[in-house]
Chain A
Amino acid sequence: MAIDTGIPRRFVTTTVEVEGREETKVVELPDHDPSPWGTDAELHVVGQRATRVDAPEKVTGRARYTADTVRVGMLHAAILRASVARGRATLDIEPAKAVAGVVDVISANDLERRIRLAGGVLFDTSVTYAGQPLAAVCADTIDAARRGVAAIVVRYEVETHVGTFAAAVADGAPAVRRSSRAPSGEAGRSPNLARSSPDVVERGDVARGLAEADVVIRRTYRTPVAVHTALEPHGAVAEWDGDRVTVWESTQAVFAVREHLAAGLGISQSSVRVIKEHMGGGFGAKTSAGAHTYVAALLARRTGRPVRCVNDREGEQADTGNRPSTEQRVTLGARRDGRLTVIECEADVPLGVGGWEGGPVGIFQELYSCPNVRTVERFAYVNTSPMTAFRAPGHVEGAFALESAMDAVARELGIDPLELRRINFASRDEKKNREYSSNQLLECYDRGAEMFDWTAPRVSEGRLRRGKGMAAQVWGAGGGPPAYAIVKINGDGSADVLTGTQDLGTGSRTILAQIAAEALGAKLADVRIVLGDTERTPYTGPSWGSMTTASVGPAVRAAAEDALRQLMEAAAEVLEVPGAQLVARDGIISTHDGSASIAFRALCDRLGDVMILGRGSRGPNPTGVGLGSFGAQFADVEVDAETGVVRVLRIVAVHDAGRIINPTLAESQVEGGIIQGLGFALFEDRVLDGATGVPLNANIHDYKIPTIGDVPRIDVALLDVADPTANHTGARGLAEPPIIPTAPAIANAVANALGVEVTELPMTPWRVLGAMAR
């Protein structure tokens, strides 16, 4: 069949920033793109402090998570994981089959196809990291499955592992990934360097910048490996019906899981249905099918019974991704008046056996105005579990180094650190040489300083040293296409909004309901959001990159407006007011002058079985404009100079994410980011045994996440300045920004309290005491 594509243009090319990386997409222009809700838009539901729509289910235990999903005849699966970092494993699975309750055992020999995972190939007996899946057992109970795993006899031929960046790039280092060719083309190049390394990005002339500087500071910063540690582990329940499989998965990306699973099993995507109702956190780690997904699907197919496979905590901590560690060598130069003349960062990042190159230098290129900037990133593979995006990947690590270094410059120059940041404010996106759609960072500084009482001196008492510090943040958070939504108006006038996104706990279900209710002129209680089902809901991207509000929100609004337009056309016919201007509010359509009106319910009653279906999609992003979210955080700390214990007393956070759809939920998200940032600053550190490469704290007792007792007073302000250039809802993303500046704000406060800098995270007592002793 031939189609004339000469008329009018329906597909355009647009760019979308995802986790700090820009992607180019060809997208369809929406049939209908609403006019922007500007700063003066009169909104009734959007902007309200509505309670979370799924909170009643969650406080009563009714909310069903993957780990709670039960299917008739369901079996339970457990995974055997490698206990060495590198070597060859030989398995004897027969003893497992003899364990009471065990139904099936699966290992490499049972796979018809190679199934690729982030860390290699499923059940590869060639071990490249501790925690690598080797086999799986399913049984009547999870205890029996675990006994089966324990019964498998594994013999390892242990080989020398590569545990650190330095070891990975050392002469003669063995190839960490067996697929890597060693040595590769370039003489002397380590086989473990990622293909893009070194990645050099430069603007201006750093030699000139150094020559022009009145002060130059040089520092080396180190950040730890951090583990997402969502309380619900990764998990899946798989059930086959003939040649079709349904998978309930704890995931941020139902469509990605479907794509991976279909490819891994060699079946069509239409044979795979992935469902995510509730999930117990993700933070970046749950964006693809994992070993647990394939194990559940494969064992379910082999046994003909549904199978649930949920990671145990050790597997979760050891093998579901992490924020890789960094070493960042930073040089900043500034003139006496505070103007930066040069920014340099050389960063080394050990990725684990896989993952993508999400390094720390992006924020060095963007946060401050500076003519001469040079960044070099090197990524190396090491024999540890692969990295995965973790809330603001790269920027969290980079912000610690850049913002600590900025305070070092401020001290050197005798300029107030906040003033130094105002002086170097980047009014435009110098990284990409373009304007921002909206940037209220200066206002964040001003509001934050006022709330925090920045100029007041902090008084120490004896060994308890008080200090204050602050740090800033930028993060690409404009979202973008593709994202689709369908609004179905039911016979009683209530509305179902179908869209494929996921609510991780962020509140997207609630804010999408608010956007739909606003656009539809409906009561919030009459709008139901249906998410996370590849069969029932149209496509949206993964819930990552602070993208959901700004990507799915506009699609939902467009779909709701499309439905309302049809409702109004029907109302004009029913009310016999053809051509009248109609308005809708709280589920009632009326003429502008109020002379005639009809409730959705009555209207739908009149329409009988006629169904109103609204369709909406996310239009392209504006061209040549940076879409960033900004913020500044301020920290008060108290450091015990004798024990080295850092106590954070207060955090003030001011963020600019465009229009705020629900201030309460937005504040909750900012608090959550800050608390994770606090953990990164003070406690969190995946510890590997240097001799064996085995993680020593793959649990939540020894991997320390913040408790309620660690949390200081947190004061949050959201500027709520609509950004109609970014998209027609005026909202940008807020999920990742608040974790970015917390650690450096705390580190700067510690330096302020003690007069010495702690340049390595986490700032444990012994590191603080070590810094004081130097």
Chain B
Amino acid sequence: MRLTVNGRPREISVAPDETLLSALRDTLHLTGAKPACERGECGACTVLLHATDDGLEPIYACLALALAHEGDSITTIEGLSTNGTLHPLQRAFIEQDAVQCGFCTPGQVLAGVALLSRDPNPSDDAILRAMSGNLCRCGTYPKIVRAVQDAAAIMRGTRGD
């Protein structure tokens, strides 16, 4: 099958029942998306699907069949920074300490990026709603909210970087 991953066209062979998560991790060696529940309960496997309207949709790669994404463009955590420059939300996660064990972090960051692609000035409520499909057992939630708020402000240019 063909798909674009992190801006790069890829041609890979997958089993008919193979998940997108398996294709990304085992075939393309992009291990940032994590298997944690493998049934769409925790969000650790979140990756971004480029929608037709240029928005970004967070999807659970553990529930997605790889073949169903023929021709799609996918961004994983490995593709979020450009030329070594971190995405503002990655920087905000570091600065706000929205990271503990880090296992859920790639999914959290991508869920936040998806939100900001749709809503550059999200309310607290919108943040909680958008991020509620990504579980964190360490309890970084308060810092995640602040990181998303910070990154939103920086991306809107209303806050100095």
Contact = CB atoms under 8 A, between A and B. Distances in A.
Interface of A: 51-52, 54-65, 67-68, 70, 141, 143, 228-233, 278-281, 283, 310, 312-313, 504-507, 664-665, 667-669, 671-676, 699-701, 705-709, 711, 714
A62 B101 CA distance: 13
A59 B99 contact: yes
Contacts of A67: 31, 34-35
B26 interface: yes
Interface string B77-98: 1101100001000100111010
B140 interface: yes
Contacts of B94: 51-52, 55-56, 59
A566 B135 CA distance: 48
B132 to A, nearest CB: 5
B73 interface: no
B26 A141 contact: yes
A62 B41 CA distance: 23
B36 A312 contact: no
B102 A58 contact: yes
A549 B78 CA distance: 32
B149 to A, nearest CB: 13
Contact of B38 (A65, A228, A283, A313): A313
Contact of A59 (B33, B90, B100, B128): B90
A644 B87 CA distance: 43
B97 to A, nearest CB: 5
Nearest to A76: B26
Contact of A55 (B22, B99, B136, B137): B99
Contacts of A68: 25, 31, 34
B109 interface: yes
Output the residue of B36, B90, B128 with the most chain A CB within 10 A: B36
B40 to A, nearest CB: 8
8 contacts: A56-B94, A58-B105, A60-B32, A61-B106, A278-B102, A281-B100, A668-B139, A668-B143
B76 A61 contact: yes
Contacts of B132: 707-709
B154 to A, nearest CB: 15
Contact of A64 (B31, B33, B78, B105): B31
Nearest to A707: B132
Contact of A665 (B97, B109, B129): B97
Contacts of B41: 313, 699-701
Nearest to A716: B142
A113 B137 CA distance: 37
Contact of B29 (A70, A312, A699): A70
B131 A280 contact: no
Given A60-B80, A67-B35, A701-B41, A504 B101 contact: yes
B137 A281 contact: yes
A452 B106 CA distance: 35
A281 B44 CA distance: 13
A701 B40 CA distance: 9
B118 interface: no
Given A280-B36, A280-B103, A708 B134 contact: yes
B34 A674 contact: no
Contacts of A278: 101-102
A349 to B, nearest CB: 24
A61 B44 CA distance: 11
A668 B42 contact: no
A229 B80 CA distance: 28
A70 B78 CA distance: 17
Given A667-B97, A711-B141, 9 more contacts: A59-B102, A61-B76, A61-B78, A230-B103, A231-B101, A232-B103, A505-B103, A706-B139, A708-B134
A52 B147 CA distance: 14
A280 B128 contact: no
B37 interface: yes
A507 B81 contact: no
Given A67-B35, A231-B136, A283-B137, A668 B103 contact: no
Interface string B112-132: 000000000000000111011
SS class, residues of chain B in contact with chain A: loop
A701 B18 CA distance: 23
Contacts of A313: 36-39, 41
A700 B17 CA distance: 23
Contact of B138 (A65, A70, A505, A664): A505
A231 B39 contact: no
A61 B86 CA distance: 12
Contacts of A62: 32, 78
A740 B152 CA distance: 35
A281 B138 contact: yes
A665 B90 CA distance: 17
Given A504-B101, A708-B132, A711-B142, A65 B137 contact: no
Contacts of B145: 708
- Shortest 6 CB-CB contacts between residues of A and residues of B: A61-B32, A505-B101, A280-B103, A58-B102, A672-B139, A675-B139
Contact of B101 (A56, A281, A674, A708): A281
A631 to B, nearest CB: 16
A63 B30 CA distance: 11
B48 interface: no
Residue picked from A51, A58, A59, A711, most chain B C-beta under 10 Å: A59
Contacts of A283: 137
A328 to B, nearest CB: 26
Contacts of B93: 55, 59
A18 to B, nearest CB: 22
A506 B101 CA distance: 7
Given A67-B35, A280-B34, A52 B135 contact: no
Contact of B30 (A61, A667, A701): A61
B84 to A, nearest CB: 10
Of B15, B99, B109, chain A has the most CB atoms within 10 Å of the CB of: B99
A706 B140 CA distance: 11
A425 B101 CA distance: 36
A700 B32 contact: no
Contacts of B78: 60-62
Interface centre among A60, A699, A708 (most CB of B within 10 A): A708
Given A312-B38, A505-B138, A675-B141, A60 B99 contact: no
B136 A709 contact: no
B104 interface: yes
A730 B132 CA distance: 39
B20 interface: no
A725 B136 CA distance: 36
Contact of A673 (B22, B31, B139): B139
B144 A708 contact: yes
A70 B97 CA distance: 29
A672 B138 contact: yes
Contacts of B140: 668, 671-672
A673 B100 CA distance: 12
A709 B128 contact: yes
Nearest to B129: A709
A671 B137 contact: no
Interface centre among B17, B26, B95, B97 (most CB of A within 10 A): B97
A55 B105 CA distance: 10
Contacts of B39: 313, 699, 701
B34 A714 contact: no
Contacts of A141: 26
A47 to B, nearest CB: 16
B100 A505 contact: yes
B101 A232 contact: yes
A669 B97 CA distance: 10
A709 B125 CA distance: 9
A51 B137 contact: no
Contact of A143 (B17, B25, B97, B141): B17
Nearest to A667: B97
Nearest to A278: B102
Nearest to A712: B142
A400 to B, nearest CB: 19
A279 B103 CA distance: 7
